[in-house]
Structure 1
Amino acid sequence: MALLLCLVCAGMAWDDGPPAAPAATPALDVVSAFEKVLTDVIARTEGSVVAIHRDKGENARETLAVRGRPRARTDAEARFAPIRPADDAAISFDFGSGVVIGDDGEILTAFHVVRGATRLVVRAVDRQEFEAEVIAADPRSDLAVIAPVAGPGLEKPRLKPIPLGDATTLRKGAFLVTLGNPFNAAMQDGRANASWGVLSNVARRVSYDPEVGSGRDRPPQLPHYPTLLQLDSKLNLGMSGGAVVNLKGELVGLTTTAASPAGYDAMAGYAFPIDHMGRRAVEALRQGKEVEYGLLGIRQTPGFTGNRREANRISEVSPNSPAALGDLLQGDAIVSINGVPVYDFSTLIVAVSAYAPGEKIRMKIIREGRELERTLVIAKFPVEGEIIATVRPPAWRGIRVDHRSLLIAPQLGLNPIEALPQGVVVREVEPGSPAEKAGLKPWQMIREVADRPVADPADFAKAVADRKGPVRLMTDRGPVTVAP
C-alpha cells in the first residue's frame, strides 16, 4: 500500500509538470536507502575476502601445503616465488577464493581449491601477499581452513574476520551479496569482486562434475544431498570459496562452482550454507580438527516400498548399530530428528550429519500406524577421501583410538557393527611407542581395558586415565598388555 501511494504521488507530480529543480521522490528515497545499505555491506565485508593461488603437481594425490609437513619447492613454485605485492603482472592459472573467519588469519575456502597443493599464495586487501598452509580440511563437505605461514622474518598479515551468520533464517527472495575472485581478477590487487541478487531456493540438490573448477578431483560427498543455497547470481571460475553475505554483513554461505546441475538453471550459482551443520564444521576446521558426522546404521533400498510417500521408511537395520540399540526396526518410517522433519533418506542423512558422534538425538517414527519417540546415541560416519587435521586427540602410550563404525568404510570391506556390540578401533600407532612394542596394529579393535568394556573413544579415555602400570587390553585378536 505504501509503495502504491508513492507511485500515485509520483504520477500526480508528473501531471503537474516537471519541477523547476530536481527533487527527491519517495520512490527514489527508498532506492537510495537500499543502495546505501548494499554499498555499506560491501564496504564492511569485501576486505575479508581473499584470492588464493595453488601450485599443484600433475598427479598430486596428497596435499603437501599443510602445517607441520615438510614441502619441497617445485619448478612451478620457483616461477611464482619472485612475485611481489607490487607486481600486478602476476598471473595464476590455478586460483580460487577464501574468506577470513578467525582473529589469527584463518581463512575458510572450498577444499577443492587447495586440495593437492604443494604451495598456496594468498592476495588480500591492500595488496598484501603471503604464503598459507592448510590447517584442516574435510572432503565430505568440501570445506577447508588455511592460515598464513608463520615464522622468523614473516610479517603477520592484517586481516579482518567476517562474523558468521545463520543460513537457517534465510528465505526465498532474501537479498544476498557474493564476493570472490572471478577469473583471477583479485589475484592482481587483492580486491574482491562484488555482486548481489536474491536467494532463489534453499536446500537444493544438484549433481557434481569433478572436471569443473577442480581438475579431475573426486567430487565431494555431502553436497549430493539437499544442502546447497541456490543464488540467482552466476558464479564464474574462481568464485569457489567466496563469501555469501546477508545485509547485516554476516557470512551465511560459501560459494562453490563445482556444481554442474543437470536439468537446473545453468546461470544459477550455488553455496554451502552456514547453518547448524556448517557452523559446526567450520568451527572444527578453524581449530585444526577433523569434522565428524553422525551415523545411525540403517539402510533404505530403492524401491523398498514402491511408494514415494514412504521414502523415509527403513529397509534394514544393522545389528548392534545405534539404530538397533535404540529400538528401530525394519519398516519404521522416520518422521523427524530433534524436531527437524524428515521426508526421505537425503534429508535424513543431512539431519543426522548435523550432529557429532556420541551425541543423543530424539527421533519420531511411525510404526504400524502409531507415532513413537526413540532416543539414540549416534556413531561416526566413515568419511572417504583425504582428511586433514593438524590438531589431533592426545595419544595414549602411542595409540589414538576412534569409533568402531569407521571399519565399515568401503575401502576396508569390514562391518564390525554386525560383529561386535562394543569397542574402539586403533586409528594410529606411533613408531617406537609402548603400543607398537606390545603388538597393536592400526584398525585393530579394543573391546575392554582392564576388564572394563569400552564403547567409544570417550569411554576409552576414562578407562585409561591415571593408570600407571601395565594395562591389559582385550582386542579382537586376543589380550594385549601395554607397558607404561
Structure 2
Amino acid sequence: MRLILPVLISLACVLPAAAEVKVPQSQTEISLSFAPLVKEAAPAVVNIFANRVVQQSESPFRGNPMFEDLFRGFGLSQPRVQNSLGSGVILSEDGIVVSNYHVVGMATEIRVVLTDRREFEAEILLADQDSDLAILKINADTPLPHLSFRDSDDVEVGELALAIGNPFGIGQTVTSGIVSGLARSGTATGNARGYYLQTDAAINPGNSGGALIDVNGRLIGINTSILTRSGGSNGVGFAIPANLVARYVEQARAGNDRFTQAWAGIFGQAVDSSLAEGFGLSVPEGVVISSMHPDSPFAQAGLALGDIVLSVDGQPVNSPPEMLFRMSVRPVGDTIIVEYLSGGEIEQAEVSLIVAPDLPPRDARMVKGGTLAGLGVVNINPAVQSELKLPTAMSEGVVVTEVSGPLGRIGLRVGDVLLEINGETINTTADVEDASDTRGRNWRIDGVRGGQRFSYRFRI
C-alpha cells in the first residue's frame, strides 16, 4: 500500500454469475449471509509476496545519534532487498493474475499464495506504473479458481460490494460496504487513466491488488488506494474499474509487455463554473480543448481548439483523466463516437483510435565525444511525447533521453527539452552533436523542464 497526503494508500477485483442485482426488500433479505458468496469468490483472491533489490547508501555515521541525520545519504550505495506485501486476483483457470504495480513492479522474485496454501512463482507479463496495474502468470497442474468480469460501466452508486484482500499481512479478510462514488479522478495513485470506483468497504494497507466484487461474485474493480490522514481505513477506498483491467489482460495475452494506449493528441481542462458561464452553458460539463497536435485524430475528425468534449461513446466525460479512461478501454483501431459543443451547437464525430505516430523520425543520438559526451537525445514526435509524457505543446525540438558524466552532475535530467547550447538554437539531434564540438571553457545550456525555463552555466 502506498500513502499519499491527504494520504492515499494503494489497495482491489471479480467472479461469474448472472442474477439480477436488486435492493433488499425486507429484513429477512437484509440479514442473509454473505458466506456462500465469499466461499465461492475468496479462493480466487491470493496473497502476493514480492522482493526487489534497491540501492541504499551505507554511511559510516550510521547509528551515531549525533551525526547520523546530519550525514544521511553519505557513503557508498549498497544493494538491499526490499519486501512488499499485497493481494492479487486470479482471472483465468490457466493462471492469469492481476495485482498493482506498486506491489510487484521491479520485483526480482514474486510468490503467489492461494487460500489452500499452495505457493507458485509468478512472472510479470505486463506492468504499467501509470495505471498501477500488473498482469502476472502462474503455472498450476490443475485449473485454478478465478473470478469473471462484470461490465463496470453498469455499476451504480449504492450497490453492495465486498472487498477481499490481505490487509496488514494478517491473512485473507473480507469487508462489506457499498459503491459510494463513480468517476473519481485525480484521487488515487499513479497517473491512472483517471477513473476510479469509490467504496466505503474497509480497505487497508495490504489490500492493494485485491478484489472488489458485487453481490453476484463478479469482479467490478481492483482495490488500489485509500484516502486517509491516519494511515488506516476511513471508509473512502478506490478501485480500478474491471473494464480497464480486462483491456490489460487482453493485451498481456496478446504478448504485449507494455500497455498500448490510444493517442489523443490533445490537452484539455475540465469545464468549471467560470468556464461554463463563458461558454454559455447552463451547468459545468465536459472537457474544453486547450491545445491540439496537428496530427491528432480529434483534429482529423473536425474538432478544434475551444470545442468542448461532452461524451465518448455515450458516456459523459467531465475531466481529462476520465476522457483518457474512455479511450483506454477501447482497442486501438476502433472508432469512438464523440459528442462535442462547437460554436454553441452540439455536434458528433467519429474519432479513430490510433497509436502515437513515430514521425518525424526521432533520430536518436548519443554524443560520444567533446564536452557533451554521455548525452542521449531524440527529436520530439508524438510517440516521444507519449513515452516521456511531454506537454502537447512540446510537439517539436530535442529532448534528453540519457545523461551521464559531468552533465548529470550539473543537474541535466532525462525529459529536459533543449532550446539552446551556447546561444545556438537546437532544432534537431544533429544540432546537439555539432554543439558538442564547440571549443571554449564557458558553457551555457538553456531548456524547459516541467513547463519552466532553466539555464545551466558551467566551465570546463
- State the TM-score bracket (shorter-chain normalisation): 0.5 to 0.7
Which runs of no fewer than 5 residues in structure 2 stay unpaired? 1-24, 57-78, 277-283, 358-380, 397-428, 431-460
Give CA-to-partner distance per residue, 1:193-239, whole Å, 9 cap, x none: 1121111112223534xxxxxxxxxx51125x3x1111112211110
CA 1:417/1:380 → structure 2, altered by over 3 Å: closer, same or farther? Answer: farther
- Which deviates the most, 136-145 or 349-358? 349-358
**Identity level (%):** 26
1:184 is aligned, of 169, 176, 183, to: 169
User: Does structure 1 retain, via aligned residues, the 8 Å contact 2:271–2:288?
Assistant: no
Give, as a single letter, the amino acid of the residue that structure 2 aligns with 1:159: L
Q: CA deviation at 1:346?
A: 3.6
More helix by share: 1
2:354 is aligned, of 360, 372, 379, to: 379
CA 1:416/1:323 → structure 2, altered by over 3 Å: closer, same or farther? Answer: same
**Aligned-partner Cα distance in 1 for 2:105–2:318:** 34
1:411-426 superposed matches below 5 A = 411=388
**Alignment match, 2:301:** 326
Give CA-to-partner distance per residue, 1:121-153, whole Å, 9 cap, x none: 1211221112111111122221111122x5xxx
User: Does structure 1 retain, via aligned residues, the 8 Å contact 2:212–2:222?
Assistant: yes
**Aligned-partner Cα distance in 1 for 2:26–2:48:** 41
**Alignment match, 1:241:** 209
User: Does structure 2 retain, via aligned residues, the 8 Å contact 1:405–1:416?
Assistant: no
- TM-score, L = length of structure 2: 0.62
CA 1:240/1:358 → structure 2, altered by over 3 Å: closer, same or farther? Answer: same
Residue 296 of structure 1 aligns to a residue whose secondary structure is: coil
1:300 is aligned, of 255, 268, 275, to: 268
Q: CA deviation at 1:411?
A: 3.5
**Alignment match, 2:245:** 278
2:322 is aligned, of 347, 361, 365, to: 347
**Alignment match, 2:224:** 256
Give CA-to-partner distance per residue, 1:317-374, whole Å, 9 cap, x none: 2212212222211222222222222334343222223323332222222221222222
**Aligned-partner Cα distance in 1 for 2:300–2:294:** 8
Query: Are 1:59 and 2:34 matched, yes or no?
Result: no
- TM-score, L = length of structure 1: 0.59
Which runs of no fewer than 5 residues in structure 1 stay unpaired? 1-25, 61-73, 78-92, 187-191, 209-218, 383-403, 420-475, 478-484
Q: CA deviation at 1:59?
A: 3.4
**Alignment match, 2:63:** none
Q: How many residues align?
A: 322
User: Does structure 2 retain, via aligned residues, the 8 Å contact 1:304–1:315?
Assistant: no
Give CA-to-partner distance per residue, 1:353-411, whole Å, 9 cap, x none: 332333222222222122222222233369xxxxxxxxxxxxxxxxxxxxx73122374
User: Does structure 2 retain, via aligned residues, the 8 Å contact 1:130–1:157?
Assistant: no
Q: CA deviation at 1:169?
A: 1.7
Which of the pair has more CA radius of gyration? 1
1:166 is aligned, of 131, 151, 157, to: 151
CA 1:157/1:259 → structure 2, altered by over 3 Å: closer, same or farther? Answer: farther
Q: CA deviation at 1:297?
A: 1.5
More strand by share: 2
User: Does structure 2 retain, via aligned residues, the 8 Å contact 1:228–1:271?
Assistant: yes
Q: CA deviation at 1:168?
A: 1.8
**Aligned-partner Cα distance in 2 for 1:119–1:295:** 33
2:106 is aligned, of 80, 98, 116, to: 116
Q: CA deviation at 1:54?
A: 0.9
Residue 122 of structure 1 aligns to a residue whose secondary structure is: strand
Give, as a single letter, the amino acid of the residue that structure 1 aligns with 2:147: I
Give CA-to-partner distance per residue, 1:61-106, whole Å, 9 cap, x none: xxxxxxxxxxxxx9959xxxxxxxxxxxxxxx52100111112111
Residue 187 of structure 2 aligns to a residue whose secondary structure is: coil
CA 1:161/1:329 → structure 2, altered by over 3 Å: closer, same or farther? Answer: same
CA 1:412/1:158 → structure 2, altered by over 3 Å: closer, same or farther? Answer: closer
C-alpha RMSD over aligned residues:
3.6
